[in-house]
Amino acid sequence: MTGDSSVNFNVLNRICKLVVVLCFLHIAVIFVFYVRSMDSPFGFRSQHSTRNDTKRQEAAVEPAEQAEQATEIKLEKCPETSPLLVGPLRVEFNTHVSLDQIKKDNPNVQLGGRYQPKDCEALQKVAIIIPFRNRDEHLKFWLHYLHPILQRQQLDYGVYIINQEGDETFNRAKLLNVGYVEALKEYDYDCFVFSDVDLIPMDDRNIYRCFQQPRHLSVSMDKFGYRLPYNQYFGGVSSMSKDQYLKINGFPNNYWGWGGEDDDIYNRLSFRGMSISRPDGEVGKCRMIRHDRDRQNDPNPQRFDRIAHTRDTMDKDGLNTLTYQLVSVEKLDLYTKITVNVGKP
């Protein structure tokens, strides 16, 4: 063998070794990437997960996490007209109703009288505000009839009973103001229905929600021969959006005793350029539970004078001057009971 050929052989031998080492290196790199692209017990994961990877991840989520994710899924909006409505209803007050039975009949109503539709996102969040004192029998009928109706109307709602503490003269409008403030402390309501405790709608198409204009809902009451007592009448049951309520500085606080406060509210709305929307006389039918006049709720002799001055008083008396003492907030099965001291005349 010549010196030249031995040098050539050595060079070839080194090149071959280098090629073998490079091959090993190459295989090693491929192996590492391969392992990283799999769900391996070594904990490697690909940065770019494929659709299948996502599925695998979902399958690996714990049941508790799955439940959490499910509640986060955005529901479709409820339809403009609920498909659950049935129309005219039979309303009578000679049967016995018990809170236990009402609770059993409405298993989806949550503590505090809260409800949200399960299958769709309600169009409005409605606080139902009821001024109250010593009317438990009427309240039972209200809960018995209204909870099923409000659920069929697919509302996201809460029921607030605003109970005036003590024996001083009753003040309906001030209690309604309290209801507005207290309900908003709990939830981001965008609509407020103000209802007397003794009024029951006779048709579930009379939707307890808000409209473009303030709404009068109790438009044909049995007490008035199923028609409006006068065109400006705004008593019984009404609804207002937050904006509409704020525009009129809420309700007056100084109507003590029966009458006039609803007329003052009507004046406020019309002075702020709003009109009243109403359902038709058939859909707007409702029944009132007959009762004697409450103690400490005699007709207010000052009401005529006060109604005559709404334009001057509305900015000085209302939500901006509301004061009261909160006595208690009770979360009961079918409603939230808020007891307040609203003072005296």
Catalytic residues: 196, 198, 258, 261-262, 288, 291, 293
Q: Return the number of the residue (252 or 259) whose C-beta is nearest ligand BGC.
A: 259
Instruction: Give residues with Cβ within 8 angstroms of 342, minimum separation 6.
Output: 164, 168, 171, 174, 175, 178, 324
| Structural tokens at position 226 | 């199923």
Of all helices (H) and strands (E), which one includes residue 312?
helix 310-313
What's the token pair of residue 215? Answer: 């709404």
Nearer to ligand BGC, 142 or 234 (CB): 234
Point out which residues bind ligand BGC (CB under 6 A).
229, 235, 259-260, 262-263, 303
Nearest distance in Å: CB 255, ligand BGC: 9
Query: Given its phi and psi angles, is residue 179 left (phi above 0), alpha (psi -120 to 50 degrees) or beta?
Result: alpha
**What values do phi and psi take at 99, rounded to 5?**
-60, -40
The distance from CA 250 to its chain's CA centroid, rounded to whole angstroms, is: 20
How far apart are CB 78 and ligand BGC at their closest, in Å?
A: 33
Task: Report, in Å, the least distance between residue 195 CB and ligand BGC.
Answer: 13
Least distance from C-beta 75 to ligand BGC, angstroms? 40
Residues 160 and 179: beta-carbon distance below 8 Å: yes
User: Which helix H or strand E contains 57, and what residues bound it?
Assistant: helix 51-60
Q: Which is nearer to ligand BGC, 42 or 230 (CB)?
A: 230
Q: Is 132 in a helix, a strand, or coil?
A: strand
Residue 203 or 264 having the CB closest to ligand BGC: 264
Q: How far is the CB of 221 from ligand BGC (least distance, A)?
A: 9
Closest residue to ligand BGC: CB criterion: 235
Specify whether the backbone of 191 is left (phi greater than 0), alpha (psi in -120 to 50) or beta: beta
What's the N-to-C CA distance of the chain in angstroms? 128
Cβ atoms < 10 Å from Cβ of 281: 12
